[in-house]
Amino acid sequence: MRIAVGRAAQLLLEQDDILILTHQSPDGDTLGCGFALYYALKQKGKRAQVLCPDAWPKKFEYLYKEYKKEDFIPKYVVAVDVADTKLLGQLCPQFEGKIQLCMDHHPSNKLYAQYTLLDENTSAASEILYWVIKAMGADITPLIADCLYTGICTDSGCFKYSSVSPATHRIAADLMELGAHAYEINRDMFDTKTHSRIAIESMALNTVQYFYGGRCAVIYITQQMLEESGADESDLDGVSSIPRQIEGVLCGVTLRQKGPDAYKVSMRTEEPIDASKVCAKMGGGGHKRAAGYMVCAPLEEAIGQVVEALKEEFDN
């Protein structure tokens, strides 16, 4: 059942021993939501825990610096920024069908939870959590403000994407007044590149192939390239945006090797190409302007498949 902000806040206040689930390959929004909610629940005297199928990246350390793991048997399970239980990765079998509350902003949300607070018109799930935490009557401390600001700036490309609304900017203004370290967060998220990031970027750009008369650009990153550049997962943030940034490109595709013949395909598009539709055909999902899926095939075949899947969009 879909619910509104007030009801979500009420459900959270009524419960205790709350487990907060975040999605795999955790980003600033899922972790920002998770820890903001954790700190708010602690203020309200609850026991709470944040769980993620993958390790928390070190670059988000400032979000979990005051997190203390407590052991308890969860009585209430909440998912934040998780559109589909598949995105819980290895945790999926354990929690499938057992999630009581989901708070999310993805139009592709599968409504798998008992209660869902879904607002597709927000740039980040952290915008929704801002209203929920206020409705819970919790203080937005500087640390909670940092969590929510991180979710918003990372999911909105630092206020650049079409998902940004006047409300996004007003929440950002409030969060800055409440103590968010906006400048430092943006500097670390967007304006700091490791030497290996610079190397992997230049390697990836050397792989660019164009299709549909230059309107589609495809790049790839293999495990060998990662080894040669010394780059790791945390160096790859935002790499998927690169091919779409090339002049005249309406659809940018990035393939990242995940195993011998396994690739994560990320798609970034401009009007009128619907990434969410194309990726859904391939078993994935996401937003209109940003979506993705996993594919098990050799590289050339994987590229051929995604180009073929885009045919209908480019023919129209």
Residue numbers at the binding site for a second copy (CB under 8 A) = 157-162, 164-170, 172-174, 176-177, 182-183, 186-187, 190-195, 198, 202, 205, 241, 244-247, 270
Q: Are strands 285-286 and 48-51 parallel, antiparallel or unpaired?
A: unpaired
Separation CA 187–CA 217 (nearest Å): 28
Contact, 109 vs 99, CB < 8 A?
A: no
Q: Which residues pair with 50 in a beta bridge?
A: 20
CB atoms within 10 A of CB 301: 12
| Closer residue to a second copy in complex, CB, 100/186 | 186
Locate 255 and state its tokens.
């393939």
Residue 257, φ and ψ in degrees, nearest 5 = -70, 130
CA dihedral sign, ordered 137, 9, 118, 141: positive
Shortest distance (Å) from residue 58 CB to a second copy? 13
Locate 47 and state its tokens.
């026991």
Separation CA 221–CA 200 (nearest Å): 8
| Closer residue to a second copy in complex, CB, 187/311 | 187
Cα-based distances in Å from 161 to 70, 104, 168, 268: 38, 18, 11, 11
Shortest distance (Å) from residue 76 CB to a second copy? 34
| Closer residue to a second copy in complex, CB, 133/204 | 204
| Closer residue to a second copy in complex, CB, 21/267 | 267
| Closer residue to a second copy in complex, CB, 19/145 | 145
Shortest distance (Å) from residue 266 CB to a second copy? 15
Shortest distance (Å) from residue 60 CB to a second copy? 17
Angle subtended by helix axes 166-177 and 142-155, to nearest 10: 150
Which has the closest alpha carbon to 201: 219, 227, 223? 219
Shortest distance (Å) from residue 245 CB to a second copy? 5
Shortest distance (Å) from residue 155 CB to a second copy? 14
| Closer residue to a second copy in complex, CB, 117/219 | 219
DSSP at 209: E
Q: Within 13 Å of residue 257, how many CA atoms lie on the same side as its CB?
A: 16
| Closer residue to a second copy in complex, CB, 10/202 | 202
Shortest distance (Å) from residue 130 CB to a second copy? 14
